[in-house]
Amino acid sequence: MTQHSKGTAHHVTVVGGGLSGAAIAYHLARQVDPTLVQITVIEPRAELGQGLAYSTPDPDHRLNVPDHKMSLSVDDPEDFHRWLHSPEGPVLPGASATLRGEIFAPRHVFASYVAARLRPYLASGQIRHLQDTATGAEELADGRLVLRTEGGARIFADQLVLSITHPAPRLPAEIARLAGHRTLIADAYAPGALDGIAPTDRVLVLGSGLTGADVVATLVQRGHLARIDLLSRHGRFSAPHGPVQAETSGDFAKAPEKTALELLRRVRAVLQADAAAGLTWHAAFDRLRAQGPAIWAALPQPERRRFLRHLRGLWDVHRFRIAPQTHDILQKSIAARRVLPVAGQITIAQANGRKATLQIRLRKSQELLTVEVDRIILATGPSHSDAIRQSPFLTALAGLGLIAPDPLGLGLATAPTGAARHIDGTADERILIGGPLARGTVGELMGVPEVTSWAARLATELLGRVPVAATTVAAG
């Protein structure tokens, strides 16, 4: 099957229809004449806007941001909040609201909201959802790209947006010999991944961030009986949300620091000043998040690398906060010794019949601990440095020299405009990088506010590349 551009229509193809791809299509569709611009989103899932994060049906996998701070529209930050309380909104499960009245909804509810906002554009044909997987590409003499899909389609694209966001976690070398063994669950979010775990299975969860917390919440709520070990190198957990309070006086974007060490010192100084004013650390980190692009842009590449090596762990646990309900499950389970946090590293992993024997070096004492487990669940998060290797489509583009890995291992090499960089560093304005794969250039680009802001910016970039007659007034 071949899809040709209709007449002189400008064809924008988005590969990947999770939140990033859906948001880009949405922002673009609101601003263009549908008779002159075709928007095709290639996404294998049945509904746009789900992706890895929002496709989970588990009601205990919650948004870690309250409803009034979530929106597909950058110019309407309370759109999700209003939708939740509208007749169109769903009936939420118990305990979704906190004592403050903030709602931390199950993540699949946010996917339903995104789908609702896209529905008019899909119904009109302004956005076309091709339920398929892109697998290959070629360049035409006229500069257009032709994409091939698993289902046999050939899609022509004047502009290509790459929104393939979250590669699978990388299997750590120390447990690589367990690959394919029944004990190892290599992707905690794969459909049905946790269904085969018996209540009496001894489980070790590798990773104590938000993914690890999701796994614990699922198992505990299912009535898991045996102990769950929660292993990470530093034993850190995602921090809980703070109180409603005044904003920090710190301004990190004003004369931003040029080194990771200077940035750390500045953050510490702001934290001390905030503490003296009665503020918690949350205020400073909220400002850091909001000013993230300016802070990141000021750091030279070696300093970005230094930040990632020494400060990323601390940033992640304070930046990626845990939903109050999930935090409550985790803390109660730890207090009841149903969950045991362990700071250390696996040094040896050996299959032992239907079980696995692990040797763990504890962080503080350096003591070697031997444990036997029924299941190991990898919960270390997506491996963005493996994005090209894991995707046949990205591998094909890389083979053509059209994309290259980000030198920091954060995704794909990206120009400040969002354009993909070739292997020689040349920016290719035909190809834009959507979502977290552009983090090496943008900085913070994982949360919904950042993803939707970047999507709106890319839509503006795309508008500058389509015929002037194709643009129209943005929808309300």
pLDDT digits (tens, 9 = 90+) for 414-428: 999 999 999 999 999
pLDDT computed for residue 241 by the predictor: 94
Tokens of 149: 């899909």
Let me know how many helices (H) and strands (E) the chain has, helices first: 15, 17
pLDDT computed for residue 96 by the predictor: 74
Q: Cα separation of 226 and 219, whole Å?
A: 10
Residue 1 has pLDDT above 70, yes or no: no
Q: Cα separation of 347 and 357, whole Å?
A: 11
What's the alpha-carbon Rg for the chain, to the nearest Å? 23
User: Whole-number mean pLDDT of the chain?
Assistant: 93
Confidence grade of residue 4 (pLDDT, cut at 50, 70, 90)? very low
Average pLDDT over residues 280-295: 96
The residues, ordered by sequence, that sit 6+ positions from 214 with a Cβ below 8 Å of its Cβ are: 56, 58, 60, 61, 188, 189, 326, 379
Of all residues in the chain, what percent are helix, strand and coil, respectively (each to 5)? 35, 20, 45
pLDDT computed for residue 104 by the predictor: 92
Average pLDDT over residues 128-140: 97
Q: What is the pLDDT of residues 36-89, one digit of tens each?
A: 899 999 999 999 999 888 999 999 999 999 999 999 999 999 999 999 999 998
Give the SS3 label for residue 469.
helix
Q: Are 393 and 135 a contacting pair, CB within 8 Å? A: yes
Residue 176 DSSP class: G
Residue 139 has pLDDT above 90, yes or no: yes
Among 58-62, 282-286, 300-304, 371-375, name the one with the lowest average pLDDT.
58-62
pLDDT computed for residue 98 by the predictor: 72
Confidence grade of residue 475 (pLDDT, cut at 50, 70, 90)? very low
Helix (H) or strand (E) holding 25: helix 19-29
pLDDT computed for residue 163 by the predictor: 96
The residues, ordered by sequence, that sit 6+ positions from 402 with a Cβ below 8 Å of its Cβ are: 137, 139, 420, 422, 428, 431
Q: What is the pLDDT of residues 260-276, one digit of tens each?
A: 999 999 999 999 999 99
Q: Cα separation of 31 and 459, whole Å?
A: 9
Q: What is the pLDDT of residues 236-256, one digit of tens each?
A: 999 999 998 999 999 999 999
pLDDT computed for residue 165 by the predictor: 76
Confidence grade of residue 465 (pLDDT, cut at 50, 70, 90)? confident
Q: How far is CA 103 from the centre of its chain?
A: 20
pLDDT computed for residue 25 by the predictor: 98
90 or 145: which leads in pLDDT: 145
Residue 363 has pLDDT above 70, yes or no: yes
Residue 386 DSSP class: G
The phi and psi torsions of 36 (rounded to 5 degrees) equal -110, -15
Mean pLDDT highest for which of 187-196, 223-232, 462-471? 223-232
β-sheet bridge partners, residue 310: none
Residue 149 has pLDDT above 80, yes or no: yes
465 or 392: which leads in pLDDT: 392
Q: What per-residue string of b and e applies to 416-447 under the rule 16 or more CB within 10 Å gives b?
A: eebbbbbeeeeebebbbbbbbbbbbbbbbbbb
118 or 9: which leads in pLDDT: 118
pLDDT computed for residue 44 by the predictor: 96
Q: What is the pLDDT of residues 154-184, one digit of tens each?
A: 999 999 999 997 888 899 999 999 999 999 9
Give the SS3 label for residue 129.
strand
Alpha helices (H) along 311-391: 312-319, 324-335, 387-390
The residues, ordered by sequence, that sit 6+ positions from 21 with a Cβ below 8 Å of its Cβ are: 14, 15, 41, 43, 48, 51, 161, 163, 434, 435
Q: Cα separation of 230 and 216, whole Å?
A: 9
Nearest C-alpha neighbor of 162 from the set 62, 18, 6, 314: 18
Three-class DSSP labels, 439-455: HHHHCCCCCHHHHHHHH
pLDDT computed for residue 408 by the predictor: 96
pLDDT computed for residue 473 by the predictor: 45
Helix (H) or strand (E) holding 38: strand 37-42
Q: Cα separation of 147 and 144, whole Å?
A: 10
pLDDT computed for residue 466 by the predictor: 79
Average pLDDT over residues 377-385: 92
Q: At what angle do helices 260-276 and 281-290 cross, to 10 degrees?
A: 140
Q: Are 345 and 173 a contacting pair, CB within 8 Å? A: no
Q: How many of the other CB atoms lie within 10 Å of CB of 251?
A: 12
Residue 471 has pLDDT above 80, yes or no: no
User: Which domains can be identified in the chain, with CATH numbers?
Assistant: 2-167+384-470 (3.50.50.60), 173-239+321-378 (3.50.50.60), 260-319 (no CATH)
Q: Are 243 and 274 a contacting pair, CB within 8 Å? A: no
Q: Cα separation of 110 and 375, whole Å?
A: 31
Q: Cα separation of 58 and 94, whole Å?
A: 13
Query: What end-to-end distance do the CA atoms of the chain give, in Å?
Result: 36
Nearest C-alpha neighbor of 51 from the set 186, 165, 203, 181: 165
Give the SS3 label for residue 153.
coil
